Amino acid sequence: MRKPKVAVIGTGGTIASIGKTSLDILDYGATKTLIGVDKIIDMFPEVHGAADIVPVPYRAIPSPAVGFAEWRELVLKIDALAQDPDLDGIVVTHGTSSMEETAYALHLTVKADIPVVMVGSQRPSSALSSDAGFNLLNGIRTAGSPDARGMGVMTLLNDEIQCAREVTKTSNYRMQTFRSPDFGCLGHADGDAVVFYRKPLRRHAPDTEFDIRGIEALPRVDIVYAYADSDGTAARAFLDAGAAGIVSAGFPPGSCSPGEEAALREAVSRGVTVVQSSRAGSGRTFKSTKLQECGFLAADNLNPQKARILLSLALTVTRDPAEIERIFLTY
């Protein structure tokens, strides 16, 4: 039986890191050593049993340094790779710090109809009992699975397949860090098979209205975080910096302090789109009477960092609040 053909794009992160010793699982960044994707694959030769692998070099960088420029480059790279009719799937290795943001950005902007699976690790590839090898292997197995088609962009860590829209990192160091709080994972990469149990219903790649391939930058969208006695200083600073949108990471289930509310009302009066999310990390913010009075939009169940990405992309196609509200209900 033909093995699947899977491309692996390496972007850096912990999975590409080499620590001082095999017991260095915390301060490995101090070595400033990030290896390329070909060397990662060489460290775990078992992956060749799962697929015919095409290593695709990319800049090896820590994930906090990844943003729009890298998202666009990855979209273009995925477009080019998908021209190969024999390619079954694509894996992107990535640091876990901002993986959920890159995954969601790709989930909304990739135009190629091919499975894309993002993998990383909580421990560097050089560490005793690193999760890097198995995560890479299972990501390749998942990307090469026929059942992965139509699922949008996924993440694979700790044997769990998660939807990019829903997944978030929940622990600094634990292996089980990636969780989808409201709905759980899509499936599992077990020792005998890759098995899916549900599909994402919200609209996703490649069938989206967003196209970042020809734009130089996203509209500026910032996040203000709710806390006791917040007086709106941050919101006004973002407004002065030219923000086109602001996401409020509000008190659960979706509100902000009086001072913050006043500043955000001012933002709306000046044509800035304000979206109300919650710092809780789970559950919907809904279109309450208060939100309507303030002129704020609801983020549904997107966490603040995901709401920021969707609002940024929405602002590339419309500034109409009703249309942006539709987008948040669609994606």
| Catalytic site positions | 14
Residue 250 and residue 279 in contact, taking contact as beta carbons nearer than 8 Å: yes
- Return the HEC string of 123-145: CCCCCCCCCHHHHHHHHHHHHCC
Q: What is the DSSP string of 266-295?
A: HHHHTT-EEEEEETTSSS-B---HHHHHHT
Q: For residue 168, what are the β-bridge partners?
A: 179
The amino acid that residue 242 corresponds to is G
Q: For residue 157, what are the β-bridge partners?
A: 160
Residue 247 and residue 219 in contact, taking contact as beta carbons nearer than 8 Å: no
Cα→Cα distances 1→4, 40, 50, 51, Å: 9, 27, 12, 11
Return the H-helix or E-strand segment holding 196. Answer: strand 194-196
Q: Which residue do the tokens 């990390």 mark?
A: 281
Q: Which of 177, 156, 181, 180 is CA-nearest to residue 167?
A: 180
Which tokens sit at 324?
A: 């942006």
Q: Which residue do the tokens 């309450």 mark?
A: 288
Which tokens sit at 8?
A: 């692996």
What is the three-class DSSP state of 22?
coil
285 vs 274: CA distance, rounded Å:
13
In 4-100, DSSP assigns E strands to 5-10, 52-56, 89-93
100 vs 304: CA distance, rounded Å:
12
- Judge residue 202's burial from the number of C-beta atoms within 10 Å of its C-beta, 0-12 exposed, 13-18 middle, 19 or more buried: middle
